[in-house]
Amino acid sequence: MKKNIPFKVLSFLILFVSQIQAQQLHHLEPYELINRQLIDINHAEKFATVQVQDFQGRIKPISTLSLELVRKIHGKSSFSYFDKENKKQQLTPTQIFLGMQYKPDSWQLIAFIKIEKKAINGLKELIDINTLGYTSASQFFDFQGNYKLEPLVNRAYEKAPGKRSVFDKNIIKIDERINIIWGIFNGQFLKIFPKKDDPSLKWYAPMEKEATFNEDDQLFYSKITPTYFTNLTIGIKNRDWQKADETIDLIKRFQENNGTTIILSDTKVSLEIWFNNNPIFLWCLIGYSFLGMLLVLLSFVITFKPYNNLLKKIIGYILFLVFVLFISQGFGIILRWYISGHAPWSNGYEASIFISWVGMLAGFIFHKKSSFAPATASILAICLIGIAHGSLMNPEITNLVPVLKSYWLLIHVAIITGSYGFLALGSLLSLISLLLMCINTFSDHMETENTIKKLTNINQITSTIGLYMLTIGTFLGGIWANESWGRYWGWDPKETWALISIIIYSFVLHIRIIIPKNYIYVYNVCSLFALGSLIMTFFGVNYYLSGLHSYAKGDPFPIPYWIYIIIPIACIISIIPLIKKNSNKKAGYNFS
């Protein structure tokens, strides 16, 4: 659905600025525009602790809100510029967020709005975009106040999501950024004033017409924002931020008196700000990428040199470092749990992080049998955390939707998503086994034969554990469905694909009985391709099918290009071991 854009109001604002202040501001360098509204870093950190209510009703520190908005607008967590001495300086998200409300005229002229690379060619004739791919808010309006992107935005929204081109999607993203900027300029995001004993628990932004407080609070509400901006001017001019700091103390006291029902504790605010400033999961992704890939390489090497003691020690040290990452990731999950107030697997981002952690847990359970287990788990973690931090998922902490406000979230979803970790690890271990079979196809090694059998056994154990968890979780989901929707089973796409995954992995685990003669090779091939059912259950249903568990509600979503690369590669890896049948007979995965 097309969004309602306040074109006339925003156009008036841009026109007003261009006519009244053009002579004063347009000739200024970027650092001069920033200096006229530069908020002291210490004061910004104090302002970051003020609590705010977002549009979904969640109470959080302004630090979190600033970070989320700046990421959406700028694509990064901070803004860099060069000062008068040509030295690189940085603004924090809170400095940007506060500055945009204090001096919006400066931020209309600063090029900090991200333009996707694939949209630059289509927009470069409409707006000026710098070499880094950024532009300013003023570029989107002409001198008559017309919104330059309006025809492109209308055309993009008229198309079904599945038929939108990459350019259409980028236009929608850019349009959303303009809407966010307008909301910040207008103070719409600054919902920091709670109304005492309000049954709706709504907090208000400055100058809202609907805001009606008692006499004393109304006076405070109407005067505090202009007073604060005046004190900011004093702080910037005189380098004295005491009055501005005192104003923040008054706002906090107002929040404590009026918002006692839902206001956060100082501890929770401090921890959330620390969590914002320390991207634990991103650090884990970097660590897994380096150490995990190194561990995979050394695991292959030690397969051919099993008695190399130095290599074993190096692998031991790397395993310890990976374990530290695993503990850190678990700490991040617990911290997010505490901050959000609910189990951290309520959306795609959180589920991806949790599944990767469970996969690492499964890898460490079997690390003594083979270093390939934690190494392969690291690959799984790299993929899932990488997807979580991609453009497809939003890392923002949100309130639970009503249907998820149940103890079943902690039980059912934890078991289901946890099963994905074990099953996915088993499928990736089959990939390692097939790669070793490919190596053995061209040069026979007894060591690889033993490793293949060992990995296949680990695969079977992890897949069995995962299958039990998936089956139990599906039955528990039926109980929750009966409590929430009045039926145990409704053939919802998520339910159906969970059942399909159960059937597929049940078949895979029974291959030893069905095809005992060639079961090692056949088992690993089937286990590898069984991963497709999990991908469809976890990702596909959410973005391709319509149902109670879907995010996209059935709107067609383009198939990722990497699918067309991964499937042929998997097929080739599965076929290569068939080349030399005679040599493979000795390994126990013969094909005769």
Give domain status of residue 325, yes or no. no
Integer Cα distance of 109 and 96 in angstroms:
14
The predicted-structure confidence for 370-389, as pLDDT tens digits, reads as follows 999 999 999 999 999 998 88
Residues paired with 79 in a beta bridge: 91
pTM: 0.87
192-215 pLDDT, tens digit per residue, is 999 988 888 999 999 888 888 888
Percent of the chain as helix, strand, coil, to the nearest 5: 65, 5, 30
- Residue whose tokens read 């596909």: 540
80 belongs to a structural domain: no
pLDDT of 16 over the 60 cut: no
**Residue range 531-541: mean pLDDT, rounded:** 87
* 229 class by beta-carbon count within 10 Å (0-12 exposed, 13-18 middle, 19+ buried): middle
The CA angle 549-544-424, to the nearest 5 degrees, is 75
Question: pLDDT tens digit string along 476-512?
Answer: 998 988 887 888 888 888 889 999 999 999 999 998 8
| Collapsed DSSP state (helix, strand, coil) of residue 141 | strand
Q: How many CB atoms lie within 10 A of CB 499?
A: 16
Last residue of a domain, one of 126, 155, 190: 190
pLDDT in tens, 220-248: 999 999 999 999 999 999 999 999 999 99
Indicate the residue among 190, 222, 243 that finishes a domain: 190
Residue type, 13: L
Rounded to the nearest angstrom, the gap between the alpha carbon of residue 86 and the centroid of all alpha carbons in its chain is: 34
Look at residue 529 and tell me if it is in a domain. yes
Q: How many domains does the chain have?
A: 2
User: Which position has the higher pLDDT, 261 or 390?
Assistant: 261
Tens of pLDDT along 116-163? 988 998 898 889 999 899 999 989 988 777 889 999 999 999 988 778
387: tokens are 């997807």
Mean pLDDT of the chain: 87
Residue 414 inside a domain? The answer is yes
| Cβ-proximal residues to 487 (8 Å cutoff; 6+ apart), any chain | 481
- Average pLDDT in the 443-470 region? 89
Q: What is the mean pLDDT of residues 257-278?
A: 93
Tokens (6 digits) for 156: 């993009």
Pick the more confident residue, 53 or 482: 53
455 in a structural domain: yes
Q: Which of 170, 190, 210 is the last residue of a domain?
A: 190
The answer to the question of residue 505 being in a domain is yes
Q: Is 278 exposed, middle or buried (0-12, 13-18, 19+ CB in 10 A)?
A: exposed
Indicate whether 592 belongs to any domain.
no
Residue 8 has pLDDT above 70, yes or no: no
Q: Determine, yes or no, domain membership for 18.
A: yes
Residue 544 sits in which domain range?
Answer: 338-585
Backbone φ, ψ for residue 210 (5° rounding): -75, -15
Concatenate the DSSP letters of all residues of 30-85 into one string.
HHHHHHTTPPPHHHHHHHHTSEEE-TTS-EEEHHHHHHHHHHHHHSSSSEEEE-TT
Helix (H, G, I), strand (E, B) or coil at 128: coil
